[in-house]
Amino acid sequence: MRPAHPLFPPSARHGMPAMTSFPPPSAAAAPVLSDVPERIAFLAAPTDVARHEFDRLTRQYGNCHPGDADVVVCLGGDGFMLETLRVVLEQNLTVPVYGMNCGSVGFLMNPMLEDSLPQRLTTTQAATLHPLRMKARTMQGDTHEALALNDVFLFRQTRQAAKIRVDVDDLVRMPELICDGALLSTPAGSTAYNLSAHGPIVPLSGNLLPLTPICPFRPRRWRGALLPSTARVGFTILEPEKRPVAAVADSIEIRDVVSVQIHEDRTLAVTVLFDPGQTLSERITAEQFSA
């Protein structure tokens, strides 16, 4: 019997069955709630605020294991939400996820209102997200795979600028990019690090992946590319021993990489729920008009 996933804090794990009780993967798309959910799984970030709300909500509505739930309610910030969504994907669950903001920005979250939560969940609107799949090979010869719902980025590990070759669909598009790093973003993640690196915001329906350099030195005026969502992007690190580079898929960091392959995995999907009028598409559009 395996223990609960370490993502779940002790309060969230209490009384929950082992992970082996998760239902088998379903071929159906993740459901959108139409009836009042009877079984809610609450997960809380390891912060005082999130755990306090967890205690209040579970006293009022009960709790169950995510594998047995009609909906997962994630209590925390955007970082904990991304971790929760990654676990849902890795466990092949079709349960939708609703975030309640106990963090700072809360771009993927909804307001922290506990009254009439089950009824509130029936009015939500869904966004279906597909992750990026990263495959990274290190100088030691190890291979690592990870999923990312925001972005995969490469970044120099030392004072030396990185030198990176950029391939798209097995064609060399840039023989040498000298930079601090580079990133490939999903549309949902295009308002995060990608935007801070002066990359474009992409609507969810755009079927595009922004490829954005981070502080490029040569070619100095290159501002990146918009690639079709079917593109397969490859990064090859030039002079990896002299100019070591790390690769990061959301919160998972792999150091001393020599090559990184990335593509959008359309075989995987997760459903995120938002309050009416506050859909992810609306938030992405509004971000383009914010100061």
Order of strands, edge to edge, in the sheet holding 171-179? 143-148, 132-138, 257-264, 232-238, 162-168, 171-179
Domain CATH code at residue 22: 3.40.50.10330
Neighbour-count burial of 261, counting CB atoms closer than 10 A to its CB (0-12 exposed, 13-18 middle, 19+ buried): middle
Residue where the block lists tokens 């069955």:
17
Q: Same domain for 259 and 141?
A: yes
Q: What is the mean predicted confidence (pLDDT) over 258-287?
A: 95
User: Does the annotation mark 169 as catalytic?
Assistant: no
- 169 assigned to a ligand binding site: no
User: Could you tell me if residue 48 is inside a domain?
Assistant: yes
User: Do residues 43 and 106 share a domain?
Assistant: yes
Q: Is 108 annotated as a binding residue?
A: no
Distance CA(103)–CA(49), nearest Å, equals 8
**pTM assigned to the model:** 0.85
Phi and psi for 216 in degrees, rounded to 5? -70, 140
Residue 79 marked as a ligand binder: yes
Q: Tell me how many domains the chain contains.
A: 2
Percent of the chain with pLDDT over 70: 88
Is 71 a member of any domain?
yes
Handedness of CA 197, 142, 5, 67 (dihedral sign): positive
DSSP code of residue 205: G
Whether the predicted pLDDT of 129 surpasses 50: yes
3 in a structural domain: no
Residue 156, in any domain of the structure: yes
150 annotated binding-site participant: yes
> Is there a single domain that holds both residue 151 and residue 229?
yes
11 is in an annotated binding site: no
Q: Flag whether pLDDT at 178 surpasses 70.
A: yes
Answer yes or no: is 275 a known binding residue: no
**Alpha-carbon distance 285 to 234, whole Å?**
29
Which residues share a beta bridge with 75?
44, 100
Q: What is the pLDDT of residue 115?
A: 84
**Model pLDDT, residue 9:** 40
Q: Can you spell out the DSSP letters for 37-103?
A: -S-EEEEE-SSHHHHHHHHHHHHHH----GGG-SEEEEEE-HHHHHHHHHHHHHTT----EEEEE-S
In a domain, 144, yes or no: yes
SS3 helix, strand, coil % of the chain, rounded to 5? 20, 35, 45
Q: Which residues on adjacent β-strands are paired with residue 28?
A: none
* pLDDT band of 16, cuts 50, 70, 90: very low
Same domain, residue pair 115 and 185: no
The residue segments making up the domain with residue 186 are 132-264
In a domain, 4, yes or no: no
Interval 41-57: pLDDT, tens = 999 999 999 999 999 99
**125 with 155, same domain?**
no
Q: Do 136 and 29 belong to one domain?
A: no
Domain membership of residue 253 (yes or no) is: yes
Known binding residue 188? Answer is: yes
Mean pLDDT for the chain overall = 89
17 by DSSP, 3-state: which? coil
Of residues 78, 142, 250, 275, which has the active-site annotation?
Answer: 78
92-122 tens-digit pLDDT: 999 999 999 999 889 999 999 888 899 999 9
| pLDDT more than 90, % of the chain | 82
| 151 known member of a binding site | yes
Q: Are residues 211 and 153 in the same domain?
A: yes
Question: Given this model, what pLDDT does residue 290 score?
Answer: 84
Distance separating alpha carbons of residues 162 and 239, to the nearest angstrom: 8
**Looking at the domain assignment, is residue 21 inside a domain?**
yes
Write down the pLDDT at residue 291.
Answer: 62
> Are 120 and 26 within one domain?
yes
Segment 120-143 shows an average pLDDT of: 97
Burial of 84 (0-12, 13-18, 19+ CB in 10 A): buried
Is residue 65 located within the same domain as residue 158? Answer: no
